[in-house]
Chain A
């Protein structure tokens, strides 16, 4: 997964339970990957990355708390 131009790409990703997903921030400023109450990367620095192991099945909508117009969905099957 990449974060570039203040957007998550792809905006929706489907993984299997137990998989690990990594977001790489290619922007020159920080972003977050935050699904309230489910997971929260906190600040991912410029050129930094954050990994999350999907242990719970379901559809999780997430945003960047710094730029709340950024939206993505993680589907865990």
Chain B
């Protein structure tokens, strides 16, 4: 499983490295897409998860990422930035759809484990994107500040998912 996870992380990493230097309109689109992908996964998982902790985590993902997206959309509006679709957004979206497709084939404990594994990989990939692509390239200070401010929550989700993952592994 460890090997599989590592592979998944490696596969996810180039996807976010595709956009060499996204502009602010593209960054705004990536932020909104990244949140939406995890909202969709969370909505799907909260209905199908078996364990309470996994179900609660899925609900939390929907709540947190919905709140962040509201802020991001409001900021884009305020800055008069029209989010612009791009390769990174498309690969995030495709990855999210593939993940849900994979989850649809599972149930019970296997479902819980697969969802949590995906969440660990996903949040790690998003953190990498924040550090290596989004923060270094964001030109507008308010946009940059929003991403910097959200980063600890993403890291929190990663730690939370890892904690549940280690319990499920037992």
Q: Does B160 contact A (CB under 8 A)?
A: yes
- Within 8 Å by CB of B63, from A7, A30, A70, lies A30
- Within 8 Å by CB of B64, from A5, A29, A69, lies A29
Contact A29 B153 (CB under 8 A): yes
Q: Does B10 contact A (CB under 8 A)?
A: no
Within 8 A of B (CB), among A33-77: 46, 64-70
B151 smallest CB distance to A (angstroms) = 8
B134-156 interface bits toward A, Cβ cutoff 8 Å, 1 = contact, 0 = none = 00000000000000111011011
Interface size on B, residues (CB 8 A): 19
Measured between beta carbons, the chain B residues less than 8 angstroms from A7 are: 152
Contact B63 A67 (CB under 8 A): no
B58-76 interface bits toward A, Cβ cutoff 8 Å, 1 = contact, 0 = none = 0010011001101100000
Within 8 A of A (CB), among B152-170: 152-153, 155-160, 163
Measured between beta carbons, the chain A residues less than 8 angstroms from B71 are: 28
Measured between beta carbons, the chain A residues less than 8 angstroms from B157 are: 67
B98 smallest CB distance to A (angstroms) = 27
A40 and B89 alpha carbons, distance in the complex (Å)? 39
In this complex, which of A7, A28, A30, A70 has the most chain B Cβ atoms within 10 angstroms of its Cβ? A28
Within 8 A of B (CB), among A1-35: 5-7, 27-30
Measured between beta carbons, the chain B residues less than 8 angstroms from A28 are: 67-68, 70-71
Closest to A28 in B: B67
Measured between beta carbons, the chain A residues less than 8 angstroms from B150 are: 6
Contact A67 B68 (CB under 8 A): no
Please name 29 pairs of A and B residues whose Cβ atoms are closer than 8 Å in the assembled complex, sorted by A.
A5-B148, A5-B152, A6-B150, A6-B153, A6-B156, A27-B153, A29-B64, A29-B67, A29-B68, A29-B153, A30-B60, A30-B63, A46-B67, A64-B156, A65-B160, A66-B60, A66-B64, A67-B152, A67-B153, A67-B155, A67-B157, A67-B160, A68-B156, A68-B163, A69-B156, A69-B158, A69-B159, A70-B152, A70-B156
Residues of B within 8 A of A (CB): 60, 63-64, 67-68, 70-71, 148-150, 152-153, 155-160, 163
